[in-house]
Structure 1
Amino acid sequence: MEDYSLQHKKAWEFDAYDFWVRTAGTPKERAAKDKENPKKMLKQYAGYFDSFEGIRVANICGSCGKKAVPLALLGAEVTVFDISEANKKYAVETAEAAGTKIAYEVCDIMEIDMGRYEGYFDVVFMEGGILHYFHDIDAFMKVMRSLLKPGGKMICSDFHPFTKISDILGLQQPTMSYFSTDIFEGEMAHARFYDEEIRKQIP
């Protein structure tokens, strides 16, 4: 499993900071959008939160902070857990530019420090294609449950597994039997945004 984790880390750190600048704007530009209307930046997910002020949120695979920063602006105490240092740099700079703070732990999600975070969060939140990175969903969900306080809430929005047999999102990923449990190697979802020469270099 460690090999897969290192492979994900390499891929998610390849040109990641510059990719976010090109696609989402500089941290300052992104922060201005977040500040303008944080709830709007949360999109449909805003409705799943009972409140924002003072709640502790674990943002799993929170990437560039696109949901963490709006949550922090609304008053939540947000900790992002993600494998990429480059993602952290963009997210933390965006939070600072927005005049707020987020905590950011660069780690393998399956190795979150439970001495520090067990039972710590009111909400565990993840969205936008998370589960396919984890081979053992039961083990993953045990980690998620461990992060939550008694009575806490998990908000998880992910791609329907129908995408295994049809590339309906245009991610240019391999397709296979709907019931396949095989692990496969594929490109990072954003690889298609690069020129062919650079695309070949992405881990």
Structure 2
Amino acid sequence: MTPDEATEANRHAWNTQRFGAWLSAFGSPEEEARRIVAEPRQVLRRLLPYLGDVAGKRICNVQGSHGRVAVALAHLGAEVLVVDFAEDNRRFALDLAAYAGVAIDYALCDILNANKLGRNHQFHVLVLELGILHYHQDLDRFFRVMRELAADGGVLLLNEFHPIQRKLYWPEGPHHYFEAGLVEADVPNPDHGGESLGRCLYRFWTLGEIVTGAVNAGFRVARLDEYPDWEDPTIPGTFTMLAET
């Protein structure tokens, strides 16, 4: 399967029953907006230690999905663009922003085509949180797009599932750290006891491949922190990479 075919398959999966899934997970956009406005720093708890004051910064929330991160950032004074390819995600995010009393931009777009948005080299910060890289089969191309979006002097902040957790311990993972093929698994469903919302194609990367991809694109890695798994603290669960232009 070509990368474009995989993207189209994933796009279809992410546009299936997604709005209803977010309603099941968070309640109505109005209810969730109240929670975000009350505690925006809780929503951003994995990001703010690296970002500091976001007021006045132009931020691109890459594959920003339901918009909770974007709305929390906007509530703290950032100018935020979400780039994502699922219409139901955009619908939920824009409703969420309206009820929170903030404005966000939301581009319905495959992130690899973000150069068509006319926003290259405009963003002080690129924010990527949990479940981004495994949708891409060409990591070098992905990070080149990130570098094109980032302003000179900007940063890329990636908070992502750790390759060890995804490759070796995730039930649907390849269970082989160096496996380079595609894995078909359920699209994420926030209702963990609910029915499958469809199947996605994933490509899991090693930590070395991720860092090298960022460096090859022109980023300088300033920090790389690893954190324990939420259920098994003896293994890494997530990592955060801060990279500068």
Give TM-score scaled by structure 2 length.
Answer: 0.76
Deviations 1:173-193 (A, max 9, x none): 133310111122221132873
- Structure 1 unmatched ranges of 5 or more: none
Q: Which residue of 1 aligns with 2:202?
A: none
Q: In the alignment, which of 179, 186, 202 is matched to residue 198 of structure 2? A: 202
1:164 aligns with 2:167: yes
Q: Determine if contact 2:71/2:104 at 8 Å carries over to the other structure.
A: yes
Q: CA deviation at 1:47?
A: 1.3
1:176 aligns with 2:175: yes
Q: CA deviation at 1:44?
A: 2.3
Q: Which residue of 1 aligns with 2:19?
A: 17
SS in 2 for 1:155: strand
Letter in 2 for 1:72: A
Q: Which is worse superposed, 180-189 or 92-101?
A: 180-189
Please give the root-mean-square deviation of Cα atoms over the aligned residues, in Å.
1.6
Deviations 1:28-55 (A, max 9, x none): 0010001102112211211111321111
Distance between the aligned counterparts of 1:18 and 1:193, measured in 2?
Answer: 14
Q: Which residue of 1 aligns with 2:95?
A: 93
Q: Determine if contact 2:22/2:190 at 8 Å carries over to the other structure.
A: no
Please list, as runs of the form range in 1=range in 2, the aligned pairs for 1:51-66 lying within 5 A after superposition.
51-66=53-68
SS in 1 for 2:186: coil
Structure 1 outlier segments of 4+, above 4 Å? none
Q: Which residue of 1 aligns with 2:184?
A: 185
Q: For residues 166 and 115 of structure 1, do their structure 2 counterparts lie closer, same or farther at Cα, with a shift above 3 Å needed? A: closer
Give TM-score scaled by structure 1 length.
Answer: 0.91
Q: Which residue of 2 aligns with 1:134?
A: 136
Deviations 1:113-168 (A, max 9, x none): 3561110100000011111111111110100011011010100011111121212x
Distance between the aligned counterparts of 2:190 and 2:52, measured in 1?
Answer: 36
Size of the aligned set, in residue pairs, is 196
